Each structure stands twice: as structure tokens, then as C-alpha cells.
Structure 1
Amino acid sequence: MKKILASYVLWLIAISAYAQYDLVIVGGTPGGIMTAIAAARQGKTSVILERTTHIGGLPANGLGATDIATRGATTGLFSEFITRVKQYYISKYGADSKQVKDCSDGFHFEPSVAEQILEQMLAEQKGKITVRKMRQFDVLDKNILMENDQIKKIYIFNRESQQREEYTGKVFVDATYEGDLGAAAKVPFRLGREGKDEFNEPGAGIVYKYWGGTEGEGSTFQGDNAVQSYNYRLCLTNNPANRVEVKKPLQYNREEYISLIEDVWTGRHTGAHMQQVTAAMLEENRKYIASGKPSKIPGDVWGIAKITNMVTLPNAKTDANNQHMAFISTDLPEENWPWPTSAWAWRDQYAQRLRNYIQGLIWFAQNDKALPEHFRKAAKEWGFAKDEYTDNDNFPRQVYVREGRRFEGLYFFTAKDATEVAPGQRPPLHASSVTASHYALDSHAVRKREPNRIHLDGFLSYPSQVYTVPYGVMVPKTVDNLILPVPVSGSHIGFSTLRMEPCWMALGQAAGVAASLAIDRNQKVRNIAIAELQKVLIEQKATLIYFQDVQPDHADFPMVQYMALRGYLPEWQAKLTDAADEITLAAWEKLSGIKIQAQAGTSRKDVLTKLYQQLK
């Protein structure tokens, strides 16, 4: 009987593996998850093929401090996610609890909570979304069947059964951080850094820059093949009841970390404060530390924060990222360059190497006797959170792949798309926008420490403003039924701001709706009606153009979004209650081709509403 039951289960799995889906999504990242949810709400079926045993990508693997510079710039399904995060902490701990305060309105969360909420969001779409874990896609010609510029089917390796599976769909979605499916479909892509001569972008090419300061010697701005560094986003805690000691890895090389010794004793770092720090000050600091006190160099930090950037999460945990002001931290530059185009065997080896390196770095900071005793003691207050990643020795399961392949789509996003066209004004407004977003132009290092440099090559941040993302960044020029909401089209600097999870979630939502429209209309994904896509997204409270004074819960949000996409509201505020002046009325008449009859003092809202009713 047991053999019959086992055979039946295997038969069911085999049948499901060969099922037809509306959408086949490679990658259980938040971008892929939101694609499936958005498509399900349009009545479409999806299968998500995730290589690991857990869905959720980086938010479920330590990225608990949401990277977004302007809250409210990106909404839609992303807003649903953070609202659920906040409600989780309210329901479990109470509205006035420290956990609710530390969740920062849902923007800060524990990895396990992120995974739980994303699983719940998927589970609500009963019968529409199938999730297959431990499914690996390899970039081999034999694993993709294409006919007439369309993907017909793909073949996946089931890491549990060791069998090859076939998946057929109407639209395929690459939601991987690496861009593996797009590469298999032969979509052109870029790797490395463009030089400043190509797009005249700030920070392009080889750059050495004080963190928060100016560019320095060695900056040539020439392009190269360098890929920004990866790390693991650690979940650390200083709560003794939930703290696991960081142990020395079996593969440990002390030589990798010894440069940290002088950095700690002198207080040297990579921040802009160093422009005013003299050699005499560094030597004086050495004596000060030797007396049992922490560093007094401006901008320097002490203890574990010297090697990890710490952001508070609920329940005494932190999102511990690479320390931006350190010459040596949890990033491991240079060694990751092959990752985007390598096979999973190589990637797995690098992932283990990176884990060993990071654990070794923390152990060194906490135990090496060449470091000040009070530094080691301060560092040792922190350890891995016992209740996170319980099936992986409390260590994140997924490498933070900050940048993989960048495909060349219908639109190529560069720094100019994210920076103001004039002081105080917006970046260029894209009429085909599918989301607004905002983060700095931000890249981590591409090379390890070099002698006499003020920082690591390529570690930089430049300001941006809330921008719009055109549909074309995730649509290839040739493949008719492929959408790329995660490995999007852009330069190294342009991609450096798009690569944040809120933006990827929003692009996933747009991808799900776009795929549904393409299926319903029997169209190529690049030929769908953008206005129809935008209409659905606005109904779903997605912000396509950000306004400081009209958020998605505003009664006039749909009207403002519609008119803004057509050029009527180019400024940061809609100013609906203000009177419409003559210059504005003339501009709106010219745009609409409609004669506007408005009495003195008529509000902008009244005029816009009438135009909206006629135009839509």
C-alpha cells in the first residue's frame, strides 16, 4: 500500500510539473512573488520556480531595513506588504509595544516575519499560484525551447528528485537577481561599469570617493568589467537569551583580516571626516585607545559597528549590512565578478567562501588578541539571532546579489532618469511609468583595499530625486512573451537605484498585470496598451507619479495620476485647492486642445476634473 501511495504522489508531482500555466516565473524573489499575485488578481495562473527551500529573496534573508528614501513614493502591493508587517507586530505585541515602534511603520522587519507574510500573500490566491521550491534553472540551450521569438517551454532541474521537469506557459518572467532566464533567451545584456564618457553619469567608471565626501585620487571614470560586491545581510542580536555565538569557521585565514588591526587602533575609516584628520591625530588616538577608551576620531565607530552597519529591527535584532565607512567589512569585492554568468556549481562555492569569510571576520573582531581588549569585548556583545534561519545554523540562506545581468530593453535607464532636470524640479517624467521610486545612486565596492586610496573603488552614493520608471525597462526588444522585472535594463549607475526591493516589488506588480493584458489581448508584451496597464495599476493604488500632497488614499488620486501621466502636473505638488492661474490654464488648453471656461478663483481641482472627465 505504501508503495502504491508513493507512486501516486510521484505521478501527481510529474503531472503538475508538466502543467500549462498562464505565467511561468523563474525566481521566488519579491519581484516574482508580486508578479504572481498581480496576475492572480487578474484571474491568471502562475507557477513560481524557486531554487531554494524558501521564498522571499533578500527580505527573507536579512534585508529587513527597507531601502527607500521617500516613503510613499512606491505603493501598490509594496504598501500592502509593509501594512501587513506593521499589523503583524500590532497583533502579536500590542499597538504600544517596542516591537511596533521598532518596525518603523512596517518598513523594518525580521527575516522570518517577511517570509511568513509573503507566504500568506501567496496562499490567499488559492488555485491561482503554484510554488515549486528546489527548482533550478540552468542557462543552457537545452533548457529553453523558442519558436518565432517566443519561449514555448523551459526545463528545470528538480534538486530533490534529481529529475528534469518541463514547464509551459503563455508568458515567462525572469524574476532572478542574476537574469538567468533572459540570458537563456539570448536577450542582450551588460556587465561591468560604463565609463563616464558614455552617459555622463556621476560615479560612472573607476571612482574613489570618501563616503559622504568628494572623489579622490585614482578616479579615472573609465569603464571596466567590474561587478559591485555581494555580502550576506546578517541578522544579529545583543539579546543574550536569543544570541548564538559566532564560531571560527573551519576555513579561516587570519591574513585576510589583519588590516583591520591598524584601522581599529588608529581610528582610520573611509568617511568624509578623514579629510580633516591628520597623521598626528591618528597616533594620538592610538594612545587614547591604549588607555582603555574607545576611538575619538570623528566619524569612527566602535565594536561590531566597525565592520557592520547596524539598523534596528524588532525584538532586539539588526539588519547588519556592510559598513560603508570601512576598508574591510562583510562585502567581498572582486571574487564575485564571475557570479552573474557562472553556473550554480560555481555560485554555491562562492556562497560558501563568502560565508566563511564573513564568519571569520566577525570571529576575528571578537577574538583576535592583536585588537584592543575593550574593542573585542564590545564586538562580542553581538551574535546571530537564535530564532532566525533555524535550518541553516542561524545564517542567511541567500547571498545578497546586488547586481547581475542588466538587460538591454525597450528603455535603458541611466542616472539622468533619477536626477532632477533643474534645481528643485523633478527628474524626467515618463509617460509610460509603471511605478515611482526613490533611492540614491548607490553602488558598493568592486575592488578590495588598495594602498594609499581613500576608499574602495566603486563604493559610492550620489543624491537622486523621486523618479518614474518606464515600462520599457523590463521588456526586451525581441522576445515576445518575456518580462524582466528584476534584472532590468539600465547602466551600472542607473541600475544602482532601481535595484531596491520596493521598486522590484512594484515592477513585479506591473509585470503581472502586463502579462495578463498580453494574454487577454493575444499581444506581444511590448505591444500592450500602456494606458490600459496604468489604469489597472492606479486602481490598485500603485503610485506612478509621486506627489507630496496626493497619496493613494486621496479621493482624487486616480484623476491626479491620469492627468500627471499626460503632462498636466509636472511639479511636486498638485495644489488642487489653489486657484488656477492664467498661465496654467493656457498650458492645459494647449495640452488638451479643449477650450477651458473658468471663472476667476476656480480651483485647479475643478478644472482638472472637468478635463479628466472629457479626456478619459
Structure 2
Amino acid sequence: MRQLTLFLALFITGKLAAQNIREVDICIYGGTSAGVIAGYTAKKMNKSVLVIEPGKRLGGLTSGGLGYTDIGNKYAITGLSRDFYRRIGKHYGRFETWIFEPGVAERTFQQYIKEGGVEVLYQQPILAAKKDGKRITEIQTASAIIRAKMFIDCSYEGDLMAKAGISYTVGREDNSQYGETYNGVQLREKHQFPDGIDPYKEPGKPASGLVWGISPDQLEKPGTGNKKIQAYNFRICLTNEPGNRIPITEPADYDPARYELLLRVVQKLQPKNLSGMLKIDLMPNHKTDINNNGPISTDMIGMNYNYPEADYATREKITRDHELYNKGLLYFIGHDPRMPEHLRKEMLQWGYPKDEYPESGNWSPQMYVREARRMVGAYVMTQANCESKEIVNDGIGMAAYTMDSHNCQRIVVNGMVKNEGDVQIGGFGPYPIAYRSIIPKADDCNNVFVPVCMSASHIAYGSIRMEPVFMVLAQSAAVAAAMAIDNHQSVQEVNVSKLQAFLRQKPLATDARAEILVDNDDSAHVSKKGEWQRETKGAYGPSMFISKSTGSIRYTPEVTRSGTYRIYTYVPKRSDLPSSTQIRLSADGRSARQVSYTPASVKVEGQTSGEWVDLGTINLTKGKKAYVEISSEGKDGEVVADAVLFYPQ
């Protein structure tokens, strides 16, 4: 904080030594996962690029603890975002992996930076943005002035966007604003206190005051908009490997009174293990990604309202408060004598990993900023888009996750403590995200993209705000920025059809052969014999086919570039797979060879859903002669026919 304060003081007093002025084609603010992918893409588009990172570490939350990746449906994740999870998979000896350690993610992002030759300036928070009419001409950081033709704001807070005077909002809209049903105030049962938990320091005595963490605010009418922000926390990496474990000790400013409500919930519910208060997802090498779970957990509800608009010093304090609250929670569970012994013993098995975050005391420097500012751009994504009641034709990426909001406040309702704001509504398939939602209105600015704090209502943002999706949108933004520069256009004038075509033809932003995906829903390339039932749950893409009689499903790829391809078929997590699934592979449409897979070969450990099963390699020539055919002959279980992938070697 002292260093940042000094930078600010020097800037204000005009004493920065010999101003460092940099000029590039594209300036990217925020070295998050999105920022890294945007920088790499822009370099592959032959543009000069500079990434400005306000902190010391690349990758944002993806390298900051969120290793148990929130996806919804892997079909929605394309391009370099998907490539990232395949690079992670290669590290672990797999084709693709969505569960990984923070350090592995950070090193993978550094690979992109090195391969792309992307320059990164660290510890450079933005101080100001200068505009000429509707165009940003430069931004100022603590020690540099960066001039660029195009800017991409990849920060979680939308600081460049705000400094440039672009329209944005904070908080929850009223349901009536966009004709939604899940926005605004929502009192629901998920992550909720059971009835009967007393909110007062002395039970039954309102005069004693409220227990720490409870707001005196009154419950508003359902659907009412307000400026309250869904809770933040840290995605916590711990380990139970004795040789790599640092004990969880009492943190600074520890106050057990902050966890009084946890004691009351434990007394009421008597949980058998830590899952009653912590969502512990296991990672490789005996590590965790711990997230919020239950009525009182790692979410520091109601303590982040000032964060989106705060200055850097205030944000640093809010982040530190969240860190100490989370560390205190872990210590309380393991050491407070009032906690049940079996929970204390279970907690004491865990500690901070010596080999993660060594530069920041073995604790993630990235707080989970689930939502801060959101641009009000050329198009606002809403609940109608998530539910496919409104489908845009300028999609430049997809989302598929549940409409997800964590709790926004903890209040007293009918004499009992209750959480308010948690929403988890799913049941829909992948849907397109509008190009217009990552660009400002023309009256605001014409040379900036905002792929992270993009234009969406609170509840729609809850579905879109996933790290893989941010990377997809950032790649699209970088390609569009390059196109705008080449054609001397504003961001509003970019030809979206050409942008979409480029993203399809060059998913890795290079001339490398693109993979060929044939999904079961692609009727032009899929034919079936026999009776197959269409199911959606657990599928790759909109659906999958389940056999109901003897038959087959044939996938016929359209090969545009000859070469050797490795073939994979997608198998979801299911307990009713047959002992063996028979598959025929043909390169020429005449001769075929037989392959098969067994349930044992579907290694879904290390995955958040299904798995790609390797069927071997095949030499394909240009055209539509080859096929892959999944057969249900002699089945003793439910044969699954979902997506088939032809991956260039």
C-alpha cells in the first residue's frame, strides 16, 4: 500500500521522472485470464500490444484458486480458452483438464505471454484516461502514459471503462427494468439459515444488538433493485500433504465473535463433516479449491458494497478484511473448543501449501470479485438471452452456466437471521453472447472493448461471468480490435459476420489446422439407425443420444485440410454405460476398423463433467468421405452417442 500511495502522490504532484510514454496498437488493461488471452491474440494478429496489470500475478482468478472450473457445458468454450484447458491437460498427462492447481495455471498463462512475445507492465493501476471526443487517446498509470489505437478493459472492476466515462451500473436491477423474474431482491432456500437461528447477541434479546455480520436493513419487496453486491470470498487452496503443509495459525485481528452464527448453525444442524460449511473440491497433488457452502461460510456477505467504486487503498483494505475473515474462519473451525471435536480434527488435516503463492505468504492475491461494475453498452444481455427466449445473431462466444448470484445481504426476517440474494437457476443450454454487449454505446466511446465487465443485467451476468467465457470474449475482442485498426473503423462499425467467420476459421488465432467437431445435434453431418432417445442433462452441447434399440449413429466430418487427426468421442458421467461400446472408424467411407471403449477408460476423475475418450488416429483427406459410427449392437447398458472430435496432429 505504501508503494501505491507514493505512486499516487508522485502522480498528483507531477513529479514523475521523465514520463514514460508508450505507443502501441492495442492496450489491454488487466492481466486476468481474459487479459492474457487478449494479449496473445492481438500479437497473433500482428499488432503491437501492451498488457497493463495492476498487481504482480497473471491469470486473475484462474491462477488465483479457482481451479475447479465453473463451465456449465464444455461445448460453450471455444478457441484459445479451450486451448488453455488442453494445455493444462497436457501438464497432467491428459487431453483436457478443467481441475488444476493455481501454480500450474499461472505457469500456463506465462507460456502464452512468452510464446506471443507479449510485454506486460506489472503493478501499474490506472489513474486516468484521456479522450478526444468519443475516442480514448491514452491512459495514465503510476509510471507510464500508454497511447493506443484500441483499448480492451479486462479488469474485474472495469476501471478503464469507468475512467473513460463509459456508462455502467452497479448492483441489481429491478425485475421490471428488463422484464426479468430472478433479478433484484430474492429470498430463497439455497445457502440459507434454517428457521429458528436467533440473530441477537443474547438470544431472544433484541436490545443486546445483532450478532456480527447481520445488517439492520429491512427486507424489501421481492424483485426490487438496489446497489447491494453479491458476496466476495477467496477460492482457498489448502493441502493435506504433510510434507507440503503449513499449519493454519491465528490470523491478525482474529475475533471469534465473527463466527458466532456458525456455532448456532452447527448446534442446530449438527453436520457430520466440513461439507456443511465448506465446499471442498479436490485438486491434483492433495490440494483443494474451497468455495462457499451453506448459510455461513467463506462468503463475507454485505462487506463489499463499496468495493466497485472504491479507490485503490480502500479496495486493498476490503481485500485484506476478506482475507482475514476467511483465514479466521478456517482457524475457528479447527481450534475453537466450542466446535464439535470431529469437525476440528477434520479441519486440522489441512494447511496452506508451501508450493502455492510463495510470493504472497501462501495465500492467493486474487479475491473472488464476482461482480463489480457492469457496462451498459450497445446491447444488454438479460434473463431472456439465458433462457433463449431472445437469441442474438451477433454472437461472438457462448455461455451455458446457471444464472448464479451469491447472497447480497444477511438480515432479520420474522425474528430469525436470513440470507438474501442467492439465485441458482439453470436448466438451459448454451446460448450466444452478443458482440454488442462487449462494446459501448456509440455516444460513449468508439475504441474500447469490455469483455469482462460486459453489458448484462445482474442475473444474466451471473450466468456469463465464468473464467472460460471471459477468455472466449477476450479473444473475440482482440480479433475485433485488430480488424477495426486494419479497416480504420470504430468498434461499432466492425463487420461482425467477418469476425464470426475468422473465429471459426482460426480458433487459435493462427493458420494451424482447426479441429473438426461433429455434435449429435448437427443433422447435416449426423445420421442414425434404430431408436435413440434425445437427452440434455450432462450432454456436450444441447443434447446427446441414448440407445433404446439396436442401431447406430454415424458422424461424417467435412474435412477442409487433409492430414492426420486423433479422434475422440465425448462420454458424459453416467453409471449405466455398457461394458463395452463398439465404434467403427473409416477414412475413405468404404473400409472401416473397429475400436471400443469401456467404462474404465472414461477417466472422469480430474474433470468437472464428462470426458473425451481417445479412439486413435486416422488419416483424413479433404471432403466428406470419412465417418465415425457408434453402434449399440449387443449392448448391456445405455450406449451414449454425443459429440465426436477430430483433432489435428
Q: Give the TM-score normalised by structure 1.
A: 0.75
Q: CA deviation at 1:16?
A: 10
SS of residue paired to 1:235: coil
Partner residue of 1:151? 136
Structure 1 residues 233 and 175, CA gap change in structure 2 (3 angstroms): same
Q: Which moved more, 1:256-265 or 1:437-446?
A: 256-265
Which residue, out of 459, 463, 467, partners 2:431? 467
Selected match of 1:36 from 22, 36, 39: 39
Structure 2 counterpart of 1:150, which letter?
Answer: R
Matched, 1:169 2:148: yes
- In structure 1, the residue matched to 2:494 is 528
Distance (whole Å) between structure 1 residues aligned to residue 352 and residue 157 of structure 2 = 27
Residue in 2 that maps onto 1:9? none
Which residue of the partner structure matches residue 179 of structure 1?
Answer: 158
In structure 2, how many angstroms separate the alpha carbons of the residues matched to 1:369 and 1:604? 61
Does residue 419 (structure 1) correspond to residue 387 (structure 2)? The answer is yes
Give, in angstroms, the shift of residue 203 of structure 1.
2.1
Gaps of 5+ in 1: 1-12, 91-99, 158-163, 268-294, 422-427, 544-551, 558-570, 580-602
1:577 Cα offset (Å): 3.9
Match of 2:119 in 1: 130
Report whether the alignment pairs 1:302 with 2:273. Answer: yes
The CA distance in 1 between the partners of 2:349 and 2:518, in whole Å, is 51
* Partner of residue 231 from structure 1, selected from 223, 233, 241: 233
What is the CA–CA distance in structure 2 between the aligned matches of 1:37 and 1:136, rounded to whole Å? Answer: 21
Q: Distance in 2 between matches of 1:218 and 1:496?
A: 21
Q: CA deviation at 1:146?
A: 0.7
**3-state secondary structure, aligned to 1:487:** coil
- The CA distance in 1 between the partners of 2:17 and 2:478, in whole Å, is 26
Alpha-carbon shift at residue 555 of structure 1 (Å): 7.0
Q: Distance in 2 between matches of 1:202 and 1:401?
A: 24
Structure-2 residue corresponding to 1:441: 403
User: 2:450 maps to which residue?
Assistant: 484
Q: Which residue of 1 aligns with 2:183?
A: 204
Matches within 5 A, 1:162-561: 164-211=143-190, 220-267=222-269, 295=270, 300=271, 302-303=273-274, 305-323=275-293, 326-421=294-389, 428-448=390-410, 450=412, 455-463=418-426, 464-478=428-442, 479-541=445-507, 553-554=515-516
- Report what 2:606 is aligned to: none
Cα displacement string for residues 375-434 of structure 1 (whole angstroms, at most 9, x for unaligned residues): 21112111222211112121111111100111111110001101143xxxxxx4321110
Question: For the Cα contact (< 8 Å) 1:75–1:541, is it kept in 2?
Answer: yes
Greater relative contact order (Cα 8 A, min sep 6): structure 1 or 2? 1
Secondary structure of 2:226 counterpart: coil
Q: Which amino acid in structure 1 is aligned with residue 90 of structure 2?
A: Q
Partner Cα separation in structure 1 for residue 17 and residue 84 of structure 2: 33
Matched residue type, 1:172: F
Q: Provide the rounded CA distance (Å) in 1 between the counterparts of 2:477 and 2:265.
A: 46
Q: Which runs of no fewer than 5 residues in structure 2 stay unpaired?
A: 1-15, 196-218, 529-553, 561-622, 624-649
Deviation at 1:575, TM superposition (A): 4.4
RMSD: 2.9
Contact 1:207 1:215 in 2 (8 A): no
1:117 to 2:87 alignment: no
Contact map agreement 1:445 1:456 (CA 8 A) in 2: yes
8 A Cα contact 2:153 2:452, kept in partner = yes
- Shift of residue 301, structure 1, vs aligned partner: 5.3
Take 2:422 and 2:500, find their aligned partners in 1: how far apart are those partners?
Answer: 36
CA displacement 1:182-212 (0-9 Å, x = unmatched):
1111111111111222223232111111129
* Deviation readout 1:191-248 (Å, 9 max, x if unpaired): 1111222223232111111129999997622111111111111101122221211111
Do 2:22 and 2:144's aligned partners in 1 also have CA atoms closer than 8 Å?
Answer: no
Cα 1:15–1:30 shift into 2, 3 Å: farther
Residues 1:27 and 2:12 are matched in the alignment: no
TM-score (norm 2): 0.71
- Distance change (3 Å), C-alpha of 1:338 and 1:606: closer
- Distance of 1:604 and 1:389 partners within structure 2: 46
Q: Secondary structure at the match of 2:148?
A: strand
Paired amino acid for 2:99: H
| Higher relative strand content | 2
Q: Distance in 2 between matches of 1:242 and 1:405?
A: 38
**Aligned length in residues:** 489
Cα distance between partner residues in 2 of 1:355 and 1:604: 51
* 1:541 to 1:245, Cα distance in 2 relative to 1, 3 A: same
Aligned partners of 1:80, 1:148: CA distance in 2, in Å?
A: 39
C-alpha change, 1:198 and 1:403, in structure 2 (3 Å) is: same
For residue 106 of structure 1, give the secondary structure of its aligned residue in structure 2. coil
Deviates more, 1:172-181 or 1:213-222: 213-222
Partner of 1:161: none
Retained in 1: the 8 A contact 2:410–2:417? no
Asked if structure 2 preserves the Cα contact closer than 8 Å seen for 1:218 and 1:453, the reply is no
Deviation at 1:266, TM superposition (A): 2.3
Report Cα offsets for 1:291-340 as digits up to 9, x if no partner.
Answer: xxxx4xxxx5513x3332111111011111111xx221111121101111
For residue 133 of structure 1, what is the amino acid of its counterpart? Y
Distance 1:510 1:17, change over 3 A: farther
- Give 1:605 deviation, angstroms: 8.9
Letter in 2 for 1:433: G
1:599 matched to which residue of 2? none
User: % of aligned pairs identical?
Assistant: 30
Q: Which amino acid aligns with 1:419?
A: E
1:468 aligned partner, one-letter code = P
Which is worse superposed, 351-360 or 443-452?
443-452
Higher helix proportion (structure 1 or 2): 1
Partner residue in 1 for 2:542: none
Distance 1:492 1:349, change over 3 A: same
* 1:537-581 deviation per Cα after TM superposition (whole angstroms, max 9, x unaligned): 0012389xxxxxxxx732779xxxxxxxxxxxxx954343459xx
Query: CA–CA distance in 2 between the matches of 1:572 and 1:219?
Result: 42
Question: How many angstroms apart in 1 are the aligned matches of 2:221 and 2:430?
Answer: 28
Q: CA deviation at 1:251?
A: 0.3
